[in-house]
Structures are given as C-alpha cells and as structure tokens.
Amino acid sequence: MREATADALGLHERASATPDRAQPTREIELGAAPTWTEGELGLRVQQEWFAAIISAPQDEPAPVDERSASRLITPSSTLSSLERIDIYRRGYHARLIECLADDYPVLQHALGEATFEALCRRYIARHPSRAPSLNYFGRFMADFCRSEPLPEPAFAADLAALEWAIVLSIHAPTAEAIGFEDLGQVPSERWPGARFRVNPSLKILHLEYPANAYLQAYRQGSPTVVPTARATSVAVYRTGRSVWRLELEPTLVTLIESLASGVTLEAGLAQVQASLAHEPEAEIAKKISHCFQHSVSSGLFSAISL
Amino acid sequence: MAGKNTHDLLPMPYTEEALAHVIARVRAVQDFLGAPLALENPSSYAEFAGDTMSEWEFLARLAEQADSALLLDVNNVFVSSKNHGFDPLTYLNAIPFDRVVQCHVAGHTDHGTHIIDSHIGPVIDSVWKLLAVAHRRCAGVPVLLEWDAEIPSFEETHAEALRAREFIGGAA
C-alpha cells in the first residue's frame, strides 16, 4: 500500500526570531583560562571570538572567563558579559536542535526527548552547519546514529534514513506520473525496447528494520514498539505536493532498479525473471504482471521513450 | 564565520571598520541585483566593548552610504532599547525615514533581566506607540505583524494585525 506522509510538503521556514529557550538552568561554567586579553581586536578577530564562544558545546564550560568576555562584550545593568553572550550560545544550539527535530520527529519519538536532544548536541558538535541553508543540515544523521551509544543504533539509523529520504523528496525535482492511458498508446511491437524514466525524486532504501511500519504507526497515533530486525525496502518519492512511502517486495525492487538504470523493458523483465527462477513459470508471469501494474498505479514512472 | 554558519542574526561591532565592511558588501549585492536592498535593524542582546558609534548612527550611515532602503522593525528597536538601556525615541529620531519601505511589529518575551525577540504573543502597547511615532514619518509604507510560534487562530492573529489601524490612522 502506498502511504502519504502526514504533512505532505512539510516545508518549514527557519524564522528570524530568536528561539525563546528558558533561562539557563545552571551557572555558566568556565573553561581553561583564555589568552584573549591581549592584542588588537579587529572586526575579524571579534567575530571569530564571538562565533567560537557561542558554538562551543553547551554541556562544556564556556571557553572564556568573564574578564576576557568583557573585553569583547560589555555587561549590562542586569547581565554579565558572559551571560549576554550565553543568550546567543543557547540560541545557536536551540535553533539547530529545532531544525533536527523538524526533520526527525519520529526518531525523536523513538529515542525520547532527552536522548534525542543529547544526540542532537553531539551531532551539532560533530557536524556544525557549513551552508547558508539549513535544509540539508541533518543529512549525516543516519550514519551518525550508527556510531552513537544509542539503545538500538541500527534501528535509529534506519528511521533517520527514512525521515531524511522524506526531506530529500520534498526538495527534489519531480515530474507528473504516467498512467495506464499513456501505456495504452504504445504499439505492442515497441514494448520490448521501451525505456522508462522513474520519478526524479525517487529514492529506494534498503533497511535492516521495518522502519516504515513504525513511522506509519506513529503517524496514525497507534502504539509504537521497536520492532525486531527484518530487511525491508521502501520507495520514497513525491508527486505534486504529496510525498509517498511505498514498501517494495523484492521483485518490485528488481524491476524498478533495473528500469531506473536505463535498460529496456525487455531487459528489465529478464532480470526480474532471473530473480524468480526458482518459482513455477505461471507464478512468475503473474508476479511480473502484478509488479508492473503496481509500479504504474503507484506513479513511479514519469516518462516512457520508444 | 571560520567556515561555519550560525544561522542567527549575530550582533556586530559598530565601528568604522565594520561600517566600511558592510557598506562594500551591500553595494556589491545591489550592483549585482540592479536593485536596492532593504536592510532591517536587528534585535540584539549584547553590545561590543569596542563600539565607536551607536546602532542608529551605524544604520543611518549604512543606508546613506550604501544607498539602500530600510526595513524598520520597531519591536526590535524596543527590545534592544530595553536590553541596552537607551531611549527608543533617540533611535527613531536618527532614522532617515525617506528610506524606510516597510515597518515590522511583533511580540516578544520579557525574562526580567532581558527581552527576547521571540515573535510570540501579541504586540505590547509600547511597541504599537513606537509604530505610531515611526509611521507618522513614513506614512503609507506597509506594516507587517510577525508571529512565528504559538500562533493562535486566524481570527485572533488577523485582529492583532488590524490593531495597527488604531495607531497609524487606518492606513494599515
């Protein structure tokens, strides 16, 4: 069954407002004594200092002391220099965590808020944003999960891979799907040499866990339990303003991946047939027919060339 | 900065060096686009010890020397005035209003020791009053209500936007 994501085109504006995080829950701790109390403070040096302080991990001591901080930023009548800088430090991390929570709501649900936030903080330290756009900031999350001390890192990585595929499909170019009426216009003698173009936004994921079933249960408000490992393949793609997730049987994976590689329909079907060599011939024909119809009705193909 | 992007409106030192730096970049962008930019005054929570001019002087000189337009956010003026202890009317008096092409208003969050430009909640009367003062000097420019989180119903948000009419004489 083909399932739409809940929020279709879930484009989120990264607003200019400052994240309104609660007041600091602890006093600002200080790190090693800085060496920023000497020398000229040109524009570049000041900006680099400021950026270095605010991007320092929040669970580590502030990298400067008040004396150095006050050389950069004046205290106000209510806040010390470090406390003023810390508003930006909290904002930097809060904004990036918010961005990752936007992209990975189901991973956040699976891990729980505290574990997810801690994971995000480590991610931010390991993969600071280096692009003007935040749209691709979370692209390393699946690989990152595999290397992190999480309860089920492989499952977390699969969930992250699935959610990231949804993000990518939102931003990817797409094309209108062809239907059975388009195929009806193909002369029968041209079928073997026909080549199909798959939807340009299509990604096929090969996962160790049934992450799509978990995601669907979350979206439907059903109980979610970390599943046992079971290899699954999921297609994620967009048509118009809807993003779709489609669990693929192995036969369908073979057909779509072969046609996506540019081979003719005849060659693609031969690959499917070879993969089913152990099955009775009548069953093979039935499966191939079902696969092809399923691919077309799901909108996986965007063009046919003869 | 140093290969990283902070995705924040960071404060900057208000110095001759910074002014020249920004003017050159605004001019380069405008030359490339063939159109003026509208530069917005930010909210800020920190002031650099090395500042040699006020934010309003910096902004006015930047707009004049880069020949750019201004987007005047009166909530940002209010937030910064509370965080840094200046009179917001002093700020407004320095603005070259012939360059203002749009005004912004928004809600903010008062934490007691400082105010955060959160774009949450209704606009407070002090900010509306600043809008009234500003808009008299740039009559006719559009006013935008910014409300980015904890957004109420459309009716409530719309009613808040329409409150602008009480302060700018029905021109909103």
Q: What is the DSSP string of A3-28?
A: EE-TTSS------SSPP-PPPPSSPP
| Average confidence (pLDDT) over A5-9 | 44
Domain boundary among A120, A141, A168: A168
Residues 6+ apart with CB under 8 A from B102: B38, B71, B72, B141, B142, B143, B144
Same domain assignment for residues A92 and A186: no
Helices (H), chain B: 16-33, 55-66, 74-84, 88-93, 125-136, 154-162, 164-168
Tens of pLDDT, residue by residue over B104-134, are 999 999 999 999 999 999 999 999 999 999 9
The answer to whether B52 faces chain A, any CB pair under 8 Å, is no
- Confirm whether A21 is domain-assigned: no
- Mean pLDDT over each residue of chain B, to the nearest integer: 94
- Confirm whether A22 is domain-assigned: no
**Contact B4/A129, CB-based, under 8 Å?**
yes
**Which chain B residues touch A46 with a CB distance below 8 Å?**
13, 48, 50
Tens of pLDDT, residue by residue over B17-49, are 999 999 999 999 999 999 999 999 999 999 999
Same domain assignment for residues A194 and A300: yes
- Confirm whether A141 is domain-assigned: yes
Interface of A with B in 115-144 (CB under 8 A): 128-132, 134
Min Cα distance B26 → chain A (Å) is 17
The answer to whether B119 faces chain A, any CB pair under 8 Å, is yes
Name the domain count of chain A: 2
The answer to whether B86 faces chain A, any CB pair under 8 Å, is no
Same domain assignment for residues A194 and A112: no
Same domain assignment for residues A112 and A234: no
- Confirm whether A27 is domain-assigned: no
Domain boundary among A153, A168, A183: A168
Same domain assignment for residues A79 and A191: no
- Confirm whether A25 is domain-assigned: no
Same domain assignment for residues A218 and A301: yes
Tens of pLDDT, residue by residue over A255-304, are 899 999 999 988 988 888 888 888 888 888 888 888 888 888 888 999 98
Q: Quick one: closest CA in A to B121, which residue?
A: A20
**Which chain B residues touch A131 with a CB distance below 8 Å?**
5
Question: Any idea what the Cα angle at residue A285 is, between residues A284 and A286, rounded to 5°?
Answer: 90
The answer to whether the beta carbons of residues B50 and B86 sit under 8 Å apart is no
**Contact A134/B7, CB-based, under 8 Å?**
yes
Same domain assignment for residues A236 and A161: no
What is the residue-wise DSSP string for A239-284?
ETTEEEEEEE-HHHHHHHHHHHTT--HHHHHHHHHHHTTTS-HHHH
**Which chain A residues touch B17 with a CB distance below 8 Å?**
42-43
The answer to whether B156 faces chain A, any CB pair under 8 Å, is no
pTM: 0.85
- Which of A43, A73, A128 shows the shortest C-beta gap to B4? A128
- Residue B149 banded pLDDT, cuts 50, 70, 90: confident
Same domain assignment for residues A152 and A69: yes
Structure tokens at A65: 């002391």
- Confirm whether A26 is domain-assigned: no
**Contact A18/B8, CB-based, under 8 Å?**
yes
Res A24: pLDDT = 45
- Confirm whether A249 is domain-assigned: yes
Amino acid occupying residue A149: P
Tens of pLDDT, residue by residue over A107-153, are 999 999 999 999 999 999 999 999 999 999 999 999 999 999 999 99
Can you list the domains of chain B with their CATH numbers? 38-47+68-168 (3.20.20.150)
The answer to whether A20 faces chain B, any CB pair under 8 Å, is yes
Q: Report the 3 state secondary structure along A157-214.
A: HHHHHHHHHHHHHHHCCCCCCCCHHHHCCCCHHHCCCCEEEECCCCEEEEECCCHHHH
Same domain assignment for residues A184 and A301: yes
**Contact B113/A78, CB-based, under 8 Å?**
yes
Res A184: pLDDT = 83
Same domain assignment for residues A90 and A138: yes
Min Cα distance B1 → chain A (Å) is 6
The answer to whether A85 faces chain B, any CB pair under 8 Å, is yes
Same domain assignment for residues A190 and A164: no
The answer to whether A37 faces chain B, any CB pair under 8 Å, is no
**Contact A15/B148, CB-based, under 8 Å?**
yes
**Contact B114/A73, CB-based, under 8 Å?**
no
Same domain assignment for residues A195 and A164: no
Specify the CATH number for the domain of residue A249. 3.90.930
- Confirm whether A73 is domain-assigned: yes
Q: Bridge partners of A22? A: none
ipTM: 0.94
Domain boundary among A137, A168, A199: A168
Q: Bridge partners of A271? A: none
Residue A61 belongs to what H/E stretch?
none
* Residue span of the structural domain in which A283 resides: 173-305
